[in-house]
Every structure is written in structure tokens, then in C-alpha cells.
Amino acid sequence: MQKKESNSSQQSIERALKLLTIMGDSRTAMNVTEISKLLGISRSTAYAMLNVMTDMNFLSKDRATGKYFLGYEIFILGSKFRIKYSHLLPCDEYLKGFVKQTTVQLNQVSLTVLQQDYMVLKFLSKILSSAMNEFAEQRIIPAFCTASGKVLLSSLSEAEQRTALEHQNFYAYTASTITDPEKILQQLKEIADQGYGVDIEEFSNFEINLAAPLKDYSGKTVAAINLSVPKLIYQNRYQEYIQLVIALGQELSSLLGYRNTF
């Protein structure tokens, strides 16, 4: 009996979290019928779950339409999560100024951090082009096929790199995606030596990404700065972009207390 109750509780939690994810992705309010169909549950079960989530402010209900949308508790949790990376917030002010002043053509500027599951989180993101594709708004991206992910992985020991790659789903996002772990390990060595990484349409077609590490006062890589560049522009000015991302990495590292003694 106890095991049955435990399974039921787990299922309820999974449904609630799935609903939050769906509503966050869809950005549209939903009525109880739509929600019950999406989750494969009865309307009465959906109502019971929605009442609890509304009472706890994870969802809100429009009184006029009866539709549900994300509640303010989601915003509060997101704000609390940012505290974990409060040491990176000075970089936000710097990037705001950079975005306003730069004359270099960029699609997006992002500050990324490696997560415990070896995925990459876009902690800060500045979109400069209206032509950005569907991947621009993604906050979680894979490490194995992105410039910032490879830069972050390159700072790990080889043993840690192999562990990280074991956690990757080597999906070929484009025809250029590298899915061979040994080739990726070789790339990581090269990135560590040269101080920057580039992915050429590995994650998204027609887009080049360049990244450089951000180091703190101890010399540890704690984040990466990533520049997304239109393919046609990069082909003619790649050296300029490489120098730019390296310079940004150095400037932001200095804000975090890093001092290169060499």
C-alpha cells in the first residue's frame, strides 16, 4: 500500500513539473481540457492538481477565461537560482556596455556555465540580431558540440572530460556535428592550448560560435563568453572575431579577479 502511494506521489510530481515545462515553452495560457489531454489524465485529476499549483502560486488562473498560466513563484525561484552565480553579475554590466558600443556584427553574446549534468547554461544572453534562429532562446545547450561547451570542458582533467562525454547524447544537430568522443577529446586539448574554441555549424546551421574562458582569482575557469556570428560574415573576418572573443574573455576574467602573471 505504501509503495502504491509512493508511486502515485511521484507520478503527480512528474505531471506537475511536466506541465510547468510545457507552459514555459508554449508561452500561452491553457484551459483544463487542454491540460488534461496533454498530460493524459482526466479533467477531475487535472483540476485537483491545478488547484494545488494555483494555491502555491506556481500557476495563476485568469478569472475571465478560466485559463492557467505560470505564476509568480516561478519568477521568485528563478531569481533565487541567479544567486548561485552572483559572482558573475559584474560581467552583465560590462556586456551591456559592450553590446551598445560594438560595431562588430554579432547575432548573440552569451555568458555560459557548466552544470553538474555537463550541460551548458546560458546564464546571461544578449540578442543583437532579429534574424536569430530557434536555438537563440534556448537556455540549456549541449557541451559536446558548442564552442562554449568545449571551452568549459577543456578546463577539466582528461578523466573528467571522459566522464562528461559519457553523459552526452551525441545527437547530430547538423551535418557538421562531431559525435566521435575521441575526436572531441583531441579538440579539447587544442582549445586548452590556444585559449579559445570555435564551432562551425555544429549546433546550428548557418551560424558560427566562438568562445573563450572566464577565470576567477584562483585561475579556475568558472564560465565562458560566447559570440554567435553569421556564417557569411565570419568567413571574411574570422581573425577579427577570434581576437575579439579572446579580448572579451581576458577583460571579463579581470573583473572576476584573475591576474595573468605570465
Q: What does the DSSP assignment read for 143-192?
A: STTSHHHHHHHHTS-HHHHHHHHHT-----SSTT----HHHHHHHHHHHH
Domain ranges of the chain: 2-76, 84-255
| Cα–Cα distance measured from residue 106 to residue 209, given in angstroms and rounded to the nearest whole number | 10
Report which of residues 189 and 88 the model is more confident about. Answer: 189
Confidence of residue 67 (pLDDT cuts 50, 70, 90): very high
Which has the closest alpha carbon to 225: 240, 210, 207, 206?
210
What is residue 133's predicted lDDT score, i.e. its pLDDT? 47
Q: Which of 122-126, 222-226, 245-249 has the lowest mean pLDDT?
A: 122-126
Question: At how many degrees (to 10) do helices 43-55 and 32-39 cross?
Answer: 110
C-alpha cell at 14: 512528474
Q: Which of 1-10, 47-56, 63-72, 184-193 has the lowest mean pLDDT?
A: 1-10
- Assigned CATH for 84-255: 3.30.450.40
Radius of gyration of the chain (CA): 21
Please determine, for residue 257, whether its predicted confidence score (pLDDT) is greater than 90. Answer: yes
In the block, cell 577539466 appears at 156
Q: Residues 205-233: pLDDT tens digits?
A: 988 999 999 999 999 999 999 999 988 88
- Beta partners for residue 8, in sequence order: none
- Assigned CATH for 2-76: 1.10.10.10
**pTM for the predicted model, two decimal places:** 0.78
Q: Write down how long the chain is.
A: 262
Q: Residues 91-103: pLDDT tens digits?
A: 988 999 998 888 8
**79: burial class by Cβ within 10 Å (0-12, 13-18, 19+)?**
exposed
